Amino acid sequence: MKAQRVSLLLVAAVLFLCSVHARGLRRCLVSMDMRHVVESFQEIKKAIQAKDTFQNVTILSTSETLHRIKPLDVCCVTKNLLAFYVDKVFKDHQELNPQILRKLSSIANFFLYMQKALQPCQEQRQCHCREEATNATRIIHDNYDQLEVRSAAIKSLGELDVLLAWLDKNHQENSAA
Protein backbone atom coordinates (compact mmCIF):
# COMPACT_ATOMS: atom_id res chain seq x y z
CA MET A 1 0.00 0.00 0.00
CA LYS A 2 2.79 2.35 0.96
CA ALA A 3 4.76 1.50 -2.15
CA GLN A 4 1.70 2.24 -4.23
CA ARG A 5 1.31 5.68 -2.66
CA VAL A 6 4.95 6.49 -3.31
CA SER A 7 4.71 5.52 -6.95
CA LEU A 8 1.55 7.57 -7.34
CA LEU A 9 3.40 10.54 -5.90
CA LEU A 10 6.20 9.92 -8.34
CA VAL A 11 3.80 9.83 -11.26
CA ALA A 12 2.24 13.07 -10.06
CA ALA A 13 5.64 14.71 -9.74
CA VAL A 14 6.67 13.61 -13.22
CA LEU A 15 3.39 14.86 -14.69
CA PHE A 16 3.86 18.17 -12.91
CA LEU A 17 7.41 18.55 -14.20
CA CYS A 18 6.29 17.68 -17.73
CA SER A 19 3.58 20.30 -17.63
CA VAL A 20 6.02 22.93 -16.34
CA HIS A 21 8.41 21.98 -19.12
CA ALA A 22 5.67 22.17 -21.75
CA ARG A 23 4.57 25.56 -20.46
CA GLY A 24 8.14 26.78 -20.57
CA LEU A 25 8.43 25.72 -24.18
CA ARG A 26 5.13 27.23 -25.08
CA ARG A 27 5.54 30.69 -23.65
CA CYS A 28 3.74 33.57 -25.20
CA LEU A 29 0.51 31.79 -25.93
CA VAL A 30 -2.44 33.97 -26.74
CA SER A 31 -5.35 31.98 -25.49
CA MET A 32 -8.52 33.34 -26.94
CA ASP A 33 -11.73 32.12 -28.39
CA MET A 34 -11.30 31.75 -32.14
CA ARG A 35 -14.80 30.52 -32.94
CA HIS A 36 -16.06 33.91 -34.01
CA VAL A 37 -13.20 34.59 -36.39
CA VAL A 38 -13.34 31.06 -37.83
CA GLU A 39 -17.07 31.51 -38.47
CA SER A 40 -16.44 34.88 -40.13
CA PHE A 41 -14.04 33.22 -42.51
CA GLN A 42 -16.31 30.25 -43.19
CA GLU A 43 -18.98 32.64 -44.41
CA ILE A 44 -16.73 34.17 -47.07
CA LYS A 45 -14.40 31.28 -47.80
CA LYS A 46 -16.18 30.06 -50.94
CA ALA A 47 -16.40 33.54 -52.45
CA ILE A 48 -12.73 34.24 -51.72
CA GLN A 49 -11.41 30.90 -52.93
CA ALA A 50 -13.48 31.15 -56.12
CA LYS A 51 -11.42 34.21 -57.07
CA ASP A 52 -8.18 32.35 -56.64
CA THR A 53 -7.12 31.26 -60.11
CA PHE A 54 -3.74 29.73 -59.33
CA GLN A 55 -4.83 26.51 -57.65
CA ASN A 56 -1.47 24.93 -58.41
CA VAL A 57 0.55 27.06 -56.00
CA THR A 58 0.36 27.78 -52.30
CA ILE A 59 1.53 30.58 -50.03
CA LEU A 60 1.40 29.01 -46.60
CA SER A 61 2.34 25.60 -48.05
CA THR A 62 0.45 23.79 -45.31
CA SER A 63 2.24 20.55 -44.81
CA GLU A 64 5.78 21.66 -45.50
CA THR A 65 6.01 24.86 -43.53
CA LEU A 66 3.42 25.38 -40.83
CA HIS A 67 3.09 21.81 -39.64
CA ARG A 68 6.79 21.57 -39.06
CA ILE A 69 6.95 24.55 -36.72
CA LYS A 70 8.31 23.54 -33.33
CA PRO A 71 6.76 24.74 -30.04
CA LEU A 72 9.78 26.98 -29.46
CA ASP A 73 9.08 28.81 -32.71
CA VAL A 74 5.34 29.27 -32.27
CA CYS A 75 5.57 32.78 -30.83
CA CYS A 76 7.93 34.05 -33.52
CA VAL A 77 6.01 32.48 -36.39
CA THR A 78 2.71 33.74 -34.98
CA LYS A 79 4.14 37.25 -34.76
CA ASN A 80 5.56 37.05 -38.28
CA LEU A 81 2.39 35.65 -39.85
CA LEU A 82 0.17 38.21 -38.16
CA ALA A 83 2.45 40.94 -39.51
CA PHE A 84 2.42 39.30 -42.95
CA TYR A 85 -1.38 39.42 -43.08
CA VAL A 86 -1.78 42.83 -41.44
CA ASP A 87 1.00 44.65 -43.32
CA LYS A 88 0.79 42.87 -46.65
CA VAL A 89 -2.22 40.71 -47.44
CA PHE A 90 -5.03 42.86 -46.07
CA LYS A 91 -3.42 45.98 -47.56
CA ASP A 92 -2.84 44.47 -50.99
CA HIS A 93 -6.37 43.17 -51.31
CA GLN A 94 -9.08 45.44 -52.59
CA GLU A 95 -12.54 44.23 -51.71
CA LEU A 96 -15.57 45.73 -53.40
CA ASN A 97 -18.25 43.55 -51.85
CA PRO A 98 -19.28 45.27 -48.59
CA GLN A 99 -20.38 42.03 -46.95
CA ILE A 100 -17.06 40.34 -47.59
CA LEU A 101 -15.24 43.50 -46.60
CA ARG A 102 -17.01 43.50 -43.24
CA LYS A 103 -15.94 39.93 -42.52
CA LEU A 104 -12.38 40.60 -43.62
CA SER A 105 -12.25 43.66 -41.39
CA SER A 106 -13.33 41.65 -38.39
CA ILE A 107 -10.62 39.09 -39.10
CA ALA A 108 -8.06 41.88 -39.51
CA ASN A 109 -9.18 43.39 -36.20
CA PHE A 110 -8.73 40.05 -34.52
CA PHE A 111 -5.18 39.87 -35.85
CA LEU A 112 -4.44 43.37 -34.55
CA TYR A 113 -5.79 42.32 -31.18
CA MET A 114 -3.58 39.25 -31.21
CA GLN A 115 -0.55 41.35 -32.15
CA LYS A 116 -1.26 43.56 -29.18
CA ALA A 117 -1.59 40.55 -26.90
CA LEU A 118 1.84 39.32 -28.00
CA GLN A 119 3.53 42.65 -27.39
CA PRO A 120 4.36 42.23 -23.67
CA CYS A 121 5.92 38.91 -24.53
CA GLN A 122 8.16 40.49 -27.16
CA GLU A 123 9.11 43.29 -24.81
CA GLN A 124 10.23 40.69 -22.29
CA ARG A 125 12.31 39.13 -25.06
CA GLN A 126 10.42 35.88 -24.86
CA CYS A 127 9.46 35.76 -28.50
CA HIS A 128 12.82 34.88 -29.91
CA CYS A 129 13.13 34.03 -33.61
CA ARG A 130 15.34 31.07 -34.33
CA GLU A 131 16.67 30.34 -37.79
CA GLU A 132 13.92 27.75 -38.44
CA ALA A 133 11.24 30.35 -37.77
CA THR A 134 12.96 32.96 -39.90
CA ASN A 135 13.31 30.46 -42.73
CA ALA A 136 9.66 29.42 -42.55
CA THR A 137 8.63 33.05 -42.70
CA ARG A 138 10.92 33.72 -45.64
CA ILE A 139 9.44 30.81 -47.60
CA ILE A 140 5.97 32.28 -47.15
CA HIS A 141 7.09 35.75 -48.25
CA ASP A 142 8.91 34.25 -51.24
CA ASN A 143 5.79 32.33 -52.28
CA TYR A 144 3.82 35.55 -52.06
CA ASP A 145 6.33 37.58 -54.02
CA GLN A 146 6.36 35.06 -56.85
CA LEU A 147 2.79 35.89 -57.74
CA GLU A 148 1.31 39.09 -59.02
CA VAL A 149 0.27 41.07 -55.95
CA ARG A 150 -3.53 40.81 -56.38
CA SER A 151 -3.39 37.07 -56.98
CA ALA A 152 -1.02 36.64 -54.06
CA ALA A 153 -3.34 38.55 -51.73
CA ILE A 154 -6.47 36.64 -52.73
CA LYS A 155 -4.66 33.34 -52.46
CA SER A 156 -3.38 34.22 -48.99
CA LEU A 157 -6.89 35.17 -47.92
CA GLY A 158 -8.14 31.84 -49.26
CA GLU A 159 -5.57 30.11 -47.07
CA LEU A 160 -6.75 31.86 -43.90
CA ASP A 161 -8.41 28.64 -42.77
CA VAL A 162 -4.98 27.01 -42.70
CA LEU A 163 -3.59 29.83 -40.59
CA LEU A 164 -6.60 30.00 -38.27
CA ALA A 165 -6.46 26.24 -37.66
CA TRP A 166 -2.75 26.48 -36.92
CA LEU A 167 -3.23 29.40 -34.52
CA ASP A 168 -6.07 27.63 -32.78
CA LYS A 169 -4.09 24.44 -32.39
CA ASN A 170 -0.88 26.10 -31.21
CA HIS A 171 -2.28 28.64 -28.81
CA GLN A 172 -4.21 26.23 -26.63
CA GLU A 173 -2.59 25.87 -23.21
CA ASN A 174 -3.19 22.14 -23.18
CA SER A 175 -2.47 21.32 -26.82
CA ALA A 176 -0.02 18.52 -27.42
CA ALA A 177 3.40 19.98 -28.09
Ligand X SMILES: *[C@@H]1O[C@H](CO)[C@@H](O)[C@H](O)[C@H]1NC(C)=O
Residues of the shown chain interacting with ligand X in the complex, contacts defined by CB under 6 A:
54, 56-57, 131-132, 135
Question: 155, 60, 43, 38: which is closest to 107 by C-alpha?
Answer: 38
Query: Cα(60)–Cα(56) distance, rounded to whole angstroms?
Result: 13
Q: Pick between residue 29 and residue 60 the one whose CB is nearest to ligand X.
A: 60
The minimum distance between CB 106 and ligand X, in angstroms, equals: 31
Q: Pick between residue 40 and residue 65 the one whose CB is nearest to ligand X.
A: 65
Query: Cα(84)–Cα(81) distance, rounded to whole angstroms?
Result: 5
DSSP type of residue 73 = G
Question: 139, 151, 144: which is closest to 66 by C-alpha?
Answer: 139
Q: Pick between residue 54 and residue 113 the one whose CB is nearest to ligand X.
A: 54
Q: Pick between residue 56 and residue 174 the one whose CB is nearest to ligand X.
A: 56
The minimum distance between CB 68 and ligand X, in angstroms, equals: 10
Q: Which amino acid is at 17?
A: L
Query: Cα(122)–Cα(154) distance, rounded to whole angstroms?
Result: 30
Determine how many CB atoms are found less than 10 A away from the CB of residue 117.
Answer: 16
The minimum distance between CB 131 and ligand X, in angstroms, equals: 4
Q: Pick between residue 119 and residue 135 the one whose CB is nearest to ligand X.
A: 135
The minimum distance between CB 139 and ligand X, in angstroms, equals: 9
Q: For residues 42 and 148, is the Cβ–Cβ distance under 8 A?
A: no
The minimum distance between CB 115 and ligand X, in angstroms, equals: 25
